[in-house]
Amino acid sequence: MRYSVFTEEHEAVRRAIRRFVDREITPHVEEWEREEYFADWVFPRMGELGFLGLRYPEKYGGAGGDYFMAIVLAEEIARCGAGGLPMAVAVQTDMATPPIMQFGTEEQIKKYLIPALRGEKVACLGITEPNAGSDVASIQTRAVREADHWVINGRKTFITNGVRADFITLVAKTNPDLGYNGVSLFLVDRGTPGFTVTRKLKKLGMRCSDTAELLFEDCRVPAENLLGVENRGFQQIMWELQGERLMGAAGAVAGAQVVFEEALAYARKRIQFGKPLVKFQAVAHKLAEMTTEIEAGRQLVYSTARKFAAGEYPVREISMCKLVTAQMSHRVADVALQIHGGYGCMSEYRVQRAWRDLRLNRIGGGTDEIMKEVIAKTLGL
């Protein structure tokens, strides 16, 4: 189905990404899932093809496209059949790097953003800690200014790309007495003394992406690695989270679409009681509900993306997108698994992976509960 938000240029990029996914990504997914790590060549290859900088300015090596180019990437990369890789790519393109573009100096852009768009440097985003996830203001990682350096101490966990990342966009407390107004962002290079990847985490889903625990012990970071304005990091990361949540919603819709298509194909070929499953009203109605929910989520994402692309800050609509599509995607995956019956629980069928992968959408980037809190606040509750 063609949507008015996409031009022929968008569709040409879509076709290019789909060819890349079909030929170069999907054939390796099973191996990467077993190894719980996708190959290091993926980011450089995507950078070479221009897919990591679709909506970034041409002067920095991007394609100069609009926000819907990022939507196209999210929709097409989801077709690889494993949620971990799209999530890792989204961290690179829409989570760890937008703050550099928005708040960084020219030197920071040259050192971090441009290589990231080329796939020469892998980025990760460091917010969550063992005792602080949704409550960003409660993070304990501290950064203390000493002459021309910041000394950082603390821990981060659940960090996507954390094992392989060349740098981290890090959230740390710089003035605990100021609460929300005492948080800052830093760019920290891998190899900086005191910065250690302590553990690669094993996960229920999203297995082909690497997820790490990180430790900072008297990690000395040059003063020029402060990103943006000191003690304005909370506002900066809240801005970042809006884009992250909207892109997460787009990815959830795309993931739901893929698993729906697989359930539909299975129901058409699976014969029971002498006829295909789709000929049973119980199954046909399930499929009808699934495609309706997916379309509703898609239209909400597109409508909100129009506002975000136009420079608006539609926090309520973005929170609604994140809440609705996250719940919908896992519901669709659950029904798809049910349609597959016992085969849905077998590892050779991708539906079981989608069921595991899509569950994270209701947690990562802001839980269902946090999204409801945000929406409630916009109602004055």
Residue 178 identity (one-letter amino acid): L
Contact (CB, 8 A) for 24 and 49: no
Rounded to an integer, what distance in angstroms lies between the CA atom of residue 338 and that of residue 61? 46
Rounded to an integer, what distance in angstroms lies between the CA atom of residue 50 and that of residue 65? 11
Contact (CB, 8 A) for 54 and 70: yes
Determine the 3-state secondary structure of 345 from DSSP.
Answer: helix
Contact (CB, 8 A) for 124 and 168: yes
Contact (CB, 8 A) for 70 and 58: no
**Which segments of the chain does DSSP mark as H helices, in order?**
8-20, 29-35, 42-48, 67-77, 84-90, 98-103, 106-108, 114-118, 233-269, 281-309, 315-340, 351-357, 368-378
Candidates 213, 244, 293, 317; catalytic one:
244
Determine the 3-state secondary structure of 36 from DSSP.
Answer: coil
Q: Which burial class, exposed, middle or buried, applies to 307 when counting CB atoms under 10 A from its CB (0-12, 13-18, 19+)? A: middle
Residues 6+ away with beta carbon under 8 Å from 193: 219, 220
Distance of alpha carbon 127 from the chain centroid:
14
Q: What distances in angstroms separate CA 305 from CA 22, 242, 300, 363, one per listed residue?
A: 27, 11, 8, 21
Query: Which DSSP symbol is given to 142?
Result: E
Active site residue 293: no
Distance of alpha carbon 322 from the chain centroid:
12
238 is written with which tokens? 């809240």
Determine the 3-state secondary structure of 166 from DSSP.
Answer: coil
Task: Give one word for 169, left, alpha or beta, with left for phi > 0 and alpha for psi -120 to 50.
Answer: beta
Return the percent helix, strand and coil in the chain, to nearest 5: 60, 15, 25
Catalytic residues: 244
